[in-house]
Amino acid sequence: MKKRLIRLSFTVVFAALLLSCGKKESAEQSGQDSVAAVPAPISQPLVSHIYTADPSAHVFNDRIYIYPSHDIEAGTPENDNGDHFDMRDYHILSMDSVGGAVTDHGVALDVKDIPWAGRQLWAPDAAYANNTYYLYFPVKDKEDIFRIGVATSKNPEGPFTAMPNPIANSYSIDPCVFQDTDGSFYMYFGGIWGGQLQRWNNNQYDANGKLRSAEETAVLPRIAKLSPDMKSFAETVKEVKLVDAQGNLFTESQNDKRFFEAAWMHKYNNKYYLSYSTGDTHLICYATGDSPYGPFTYQGIVLNPVEGWTNHHSIVEVKGKWYLFYHDVQLSGKTHLRNVKVTELQHQADGTIQAITPYN
């Protein structure tokens, strides 16, 4: 009886997760045995005392640092703009090795200490240069327009001090700062829907900018080289071309391949790998190119859908092995209360990435 109750509660929890995703058939509809429907995650949350998401991982001083969003129950009603992701500070996590003890370094930056910020601290990233650690973060300004800010610290775990203004000419969300092998730094950024990228054309803001219709070409992620001071763009923001094997841009209807948000860049065997979330189809996909600017040719899936609506990741090499940091909602079952995880990632002999399915 006790066993049956446990099975039932698993079924209820999983059915709730599926409903919250709004993307898969329910356990009842599938007609399958409820026990078989229980997903076994391939990895466990790295911390469970706080909710964390959007993990950008880096190795600094031989230690793994994770720069995640810090999810909270703010009580803000859910909508398609993502208002329920109403985060107010960042906590940085670190560990000696994958599988080792995880340290939460406490509050590294609070929205109330960012002079120009309004609300919603979303997915951050970090970089090291000039004997300084830089934390890059998207937050809505006081006009409710997403901009990208930068904060500095002498330590990778912070605390960080925010610059008085956002990075000039920055917009939208999800900065990823990539250091190329020649030492140059580039920022990839952008996200549609709540990330507001559809409002920006030729780097001009249009408050009425609409999402693209099905037959239109999809909105593209953006790139800009960073100046040596790491606090400004060294050039005009450019679009990053993401194309199919024939060199064609994706249309909005191809929403299992087109860019939505969460750009990440890594370099492997001299190739540039742009990975990103497809948002409403819940995949992490990747495309490869021969220059940090692209064009990038679609290759396939990195990570199949996780429990929860959002899918967001980073890919990093640690001591000769590659890892995928990602999140799901295993701890809460709620879209806006996520938990970060890590699993190994394999590049195959031909350079393709072996797709990861997060549940067995």
Question: Which member of 14, 51, 90, 122 binds ligand FUB (CB under 6 A)?
Answer: 122
How many amino acids of this chain bind ligand FUB (CB under 6 A)?
13
The gap from C-alpha 224 to its chain's centroid, in whole angstroms, comes to 18
Question: Which member of 57, 167, 262, 353 binds ligand FUB (CB under 6 A)?
Answer: 262
The gap from C-alpha 351 to its chain's centroid, in whole angstroms, comes to 23
Q: Which is nearer to ligand FUB, 68 or 156 (CB)?
A: 68
Q: Point out the catalytic residue in the list 54, 71, 157, 307.
A: 54
Q: Point out the catalytic residue in the list 125, 157, 261, 307.
A: 261
324 is a site residue for ligand FUB (CB under 6 A): no
150 is a site residue for ligand FUB (CB under 6 A): no
313 is a site residue for ligand FUB (CB under 6 A): no
Question: Which member of 53, 108, 139, 226 binds ligand FUB (CB under 6 A)?
Answer: 53
Contact, 324 vs 342, CB < 8 A?
Answer: yes
Please name which of 17, 7, 67, 19 lies closest in space to residue 359, comparing C-alpha atoms.
17
Question: Which member of 51, 65, 67, 85 binds ligand FUB (CB under 6 A)?
Answer: 85
Annotation says 54 is catalytic: yes
Contact, 147 vs 166, CB < 8 A?
Answer: yes
Question: Which member of 66, 98, 111, 173 binds ligand FUB (CB under 6 A)?
Answer: 173
CB of 309 to ligand FUB, least distance (A): 8
Sequence letter at residue 291: S
Residues 231, 233, 237, 239, CA torsion sign: negative
- Where does residue 119 rank: exposed (0-12), middle (13-18), buried (19+ CB within 10 A)? middle
Residues comprising the chain, all counted = 360
What span, in angstroms and rounded, lies between the C-alpha atoms of 117 and 38? 42
Q: In what order do the strands lie in the sheet with 146-153?
A: 125-129, 132-140, 146-153, 161-162
263 is a site residue for ligand FUB (CB under 6 A): no
Question: Which member of 57, 123, 219, 345 binds ligand FUB (CB under 6 A)?
Answer: 123
Residues 314, 15, 74, 193, CA torsion sign: positive
Annotation says 86 is catalytic: no
302 is a site residue for ligand FUB (CB under 6 A): no
Residue 30 DSSP SS3: helix
174 is a site residue for ligand FUB (CB under 6 A): yes
Enumerate binding residues for ligand FUB (CB under 6 A).
53-54, 69, 85, 122-123, 173-174, 191, 261-262, 310, 312
Q: What residues are labeled active site?
A: 54, 261
